[in-house]
Structure 1
Amino acid sequence: MTGKAVPRFEVDKASSLPLWVQLRDRFVFLISSGYYEPDEQLPSVRKFAAENHVSLNTVSKAFMALEREGYIVTRHGSGAYVRGGVSEAVLSDIDVITEDYVRSCLERGMDLEDIPRFVGQAIARLRAAGEGDDRDARP
């Protein structure tokens, strides 16, 4: 079982998104941000539902979507784990984020040729701070 506390989940009652989608989005954020690392076990559906006062069916539906989209894998009798490596769903999200970033730079008056330099500088700062050193090499 994971040693991390079960993350708190607050329902956005003003949102038009169904509860299971809000929950799925929260776990995508927790996985994408590194809160949960590859191969790390997620809280059980039952434990998460009980501690967050959410229906078992709602949590189960969110976990099924996470598995279908490649964020997690379910090991029969053992639980749900973050998929090791980068899934196609994550790569697709990264592609969208990257394109948005490039468009944002262009809207601020940058040239396409300037953008890689700024990305390189950001990578250098992150390396100097020791971030990203513990991640496996990506294809």
Structure 2
Amino acid sequence: MVTKEIPAFAFNDQSDLPLWVQLRDRMAFLINSGFYKPGEKLPTVRKYAADLHIAYNTVSKAYMGLERDGYVTTVRGSGVFVNDLGTSHREDGHVDVLVEEFVRSCLEEGMTYDDIPKLVSKHIRKVKRAHEEK
């Protein structure tokens, strides 16, 4: 079985996110967007590491994160395969990535974990009022 070429990806050196998290998020995006299809075999950890010029362990950790989050399944001796997430899980996965990025951004701006739900509640009320006024 032939796997797709690894799409170009530039790591953000300014980000507080570790490389493995950036890679996991990018791969989750590629799965959610349909670039990698259900049942498709992902490139090997070694190939990803070589093509992106990063450590094998970084890619391995990203793959483990994808498996933990339900995006892929490792078949011993055969490789790593994309799970069929179904439409609802696929959308939830995309939203989860957005929420995680939002929370990290808030923390980088100096907010506390307790501040973030208050901010979200404030904006929910604002959007709800605007919606009700229509």
Answer whether TM exceeds 0.5 for this pair.
Answer: yes
- Give ranges in structure 2 of 5+ residues lacking alignment: 99-119
Structure 1: give runs of 5+ residues left out of the alignment.
115-139
Cα distance in 2, alignment partners of residues 54 and 60 from structure 1: 11
Distance 1:65 1:31, change over 3 A: same
Offset, 1:95: 6.3
Deviations 1:41-89 (A, max 9, x none): 1111011110110100000000001001100001111111110233996
Is the partner of 1:66 in helix, strand or coil?
helix
Cross-structure match for 2:80: 80
Q: What is the identity, as a one-letter code, of the residue corresponding to 1:110?
A: H
The equivalent of 2:14 in structure 1 is: 14
SS in 2 for 1:73: strand
State the 4+ residue runs in structure 1 displaced beyond 2 angstroms: 85-97, 106-111
> Closer, same or farther in 2 for the Cα pair 1:56/1:34, shift >3 Å?
same
**1:35 and 1:48 mapped to 2: Cα distance?**
16
In structure 2, give the amino acid aligned to 1:15.
S
Match of 1:109 in 2: 130
Conserved in 1, the CA contact under 8 Å of 2:21 and 2:62? Answer: yes
Q: CA RMSD in A?
A: 3.2
Q: Which has the higher contact order (CA 8 A, sep 6+)?
A: 2
More helix per residue: 1 or 2?
Answer: 2
In percent, how many aligned pairs have the same letter? 46
